Structures are given as C-alpha cells and as structure tokens.
Amino acid sequence: MQHRKTLAGFLSALVLALALPGLASAHFQMIYTPEIVLDKGGEVDMRLVFTHPFEAGHTMDMGAPEQFFMVFQRGSEGEGQKTDLKAGLTPITWKSLTNSGKAYAFKQKLRSPGDYVFALVPAPYFDPEEKAYMQQITKMVLNIGGIPGNWDKPVGLPTEIVPMAKPYSLYTGNVFVGQVLSGGKPVADAEIEVEFLNHAMVMGSNSFDKKAVATAPHDAFATQTIKADANGVFVYAMPKAGWWGFAALGTGPVKEFDGKPLSQDALIWVKAVDMK
C-alpha cells in the first residue's frame, strides 16, 4: 500500500511538472495595443493585463489601478499635457493558456500628431509564494504621425524607465537603451528582467493565441536578466520583431505595503519591427 501511495505521488508530481512548462518566466504588467506608431489619429484599443507574456501563462487578477494617465506632447517645446484615464477603464476577464484573470480594456480617440506616454500605477498584488506584494509601474509610448515629443522625458512616476532610444522606431536587432529612475534619480546597478511577448494577444476574445511565435532553447531563455550601470543605464539588443518588456526590479521608494514587503518595479514596453 505504501508503495502505491509513493508511486501515485510521483506520478502526480510528474504530471504537474509536465503541465507547467516555462516556470522561469516572470510576472509582467502589460499595457498592450497592436501598433506602437500610427500614420494618423483614430481610436486606440488597449488591454491592461498582469501575466507571463513569454509562455502566455498564469494571469493574475488586477485590482483597481491607483493611476492610469497619458502625457501628450507634440514637438520638443512646451510642457506635456497630462490626462487622467482611469474613468475610461472597463473590467474584463483575460484568458491565458492556463487560467483566466481580471484585467482591463481601454479605448481612446487620439487625434493630434505627437507622442503619447501611457502610464499605469496598478494596485499592489500579493504573491502568496513570495509572501510579498509587487507593484509594476508601467509605461508605453505611442506615436502618431512620426512627429516626436516627450518620449525621452520622465512623467513623474515613483520609479520609471526613461527611454534613451526612441521606443517606437526600433528595427529588429536595434538596441533599446533606457535609464532607470527612482524619485527622479538614477538607480545604479538596477537589475532588469527582459521578456518577449511570445503569443499574439487576440483583442476580440480577450485571450492569448495558442501558437507561440518563438521557441526558447532552454527554460532559462524565457526571462533574461541584465544590469544597469552606475547611472542606471542599460542596453539590450532585441533579436526578434514584436513587443519586449523591460522590468527594473525593486527600484521604487516604497518597500512595504499592508505590513508586508513590497517590490515596486519600473516597467516599459517597446516594439521592434522588421526592416522590409
């Protein structure tokens, strides 16, 4: 009888291990829209999802965001125009390949050419395995008409990644350069996780496509890790077209929430495009 119990336990563990590939992939808060640069204005459709983008794996429930706004600027002169977008968020259920989680949809009409920096401060998420909270403060820069604006300027977040390479005009193989800030100051030696959105996001069904874009040669490749220099600057060459997320871990000034440890991370999404 004991032998049967041991065998049953082994088989259960084996099934669980086979059912959960890509365990090295990381949590990434997403601000997703299909295109990062548009020829002209129109309605922009977005999804805010807290998930594991490389494997389209477990999606975490998002609480009500603390902040969601955009800062618009056309040209390098003048100040950016900040607009609160929280009222436009619509709760949805996002389907990953393994579960469903609470997320948000957002639509906004954008007319003027220039840069639109979208910024999200989500509610802290409690990770029961880590017994700690995480809060991934996320940015995405969208452009209309090719006229640059404030893509390389901070937007006043507690911690953020400021692009030093224009994030909406990157060819596949280009390097993305960013600077990690906390309270407006560079974060020396920041640790940055990098992950590729490996499954298409199907907006109509609020779900990931089952087909992967790429196959990692080893689980260690799912989430890559790089370090910033003494000035908080990091560089990464993107080997494949698509969306790439960069998450600087624990760089925010707040270290505790509700009596437990808090990791405030700075995250940005950029898109690489093939040259034709």
pLDDT (tens digit per residue) in 182-194: 999 999 999 999 9
- Answer whether 168's CB lies under 8 Å from 62's CB: no
The pLDDT value given to residue 23: 40
Q: What percent of the chain has pLDDT over 90?
A: 89
Res. 159: pLDDT tops 50: yes
The pLDDT value given to residue 12: 37
- Answer whether 96's CB lies under 8 Å from 56's CB: yes
Res. 21: pLDDT tops 70: no
The pLDDT value given to residue 26: 87
Return d(Cα 197, Cα 27) in angstroms, integer: 12
pLDDT (tens digit per residue) in 31-73: 999 999 999 999 999 999 999 999 999 999 999 999 999 999 9
Tokens of residue 141, six digits? 């820069």
Res. 4: pLDDT tops 60: no
Q: Give the bridge partners for 28, in sequence order.
A: 51
* Domain residue spans of the chain: 38-273
The pLDDT value given to residue 224: 97
The pLDDT value given to residue 78: 73
pLDDT (tens digit per residue) in 88-142: 999 999 999 999 999 999 999 999 999 999 999 999 999 999 999 999 999 999 9
Q: How high does pLDDT run on average in the chain?
A: 92
Return d(Cα 27, Cα 29) in angstroms, integer: 7
The pLDDT value given to residue 76: 78
pLDDT (tens digit per residue) in 251-267: 999 999 999 999 999 99
60 DSSP assignment? B
Give the full edge-to-edge strand order of the sheet including 28-32.
Answer: 28-32, 42-51, 100-110, 90-95, 207-212, 199-202
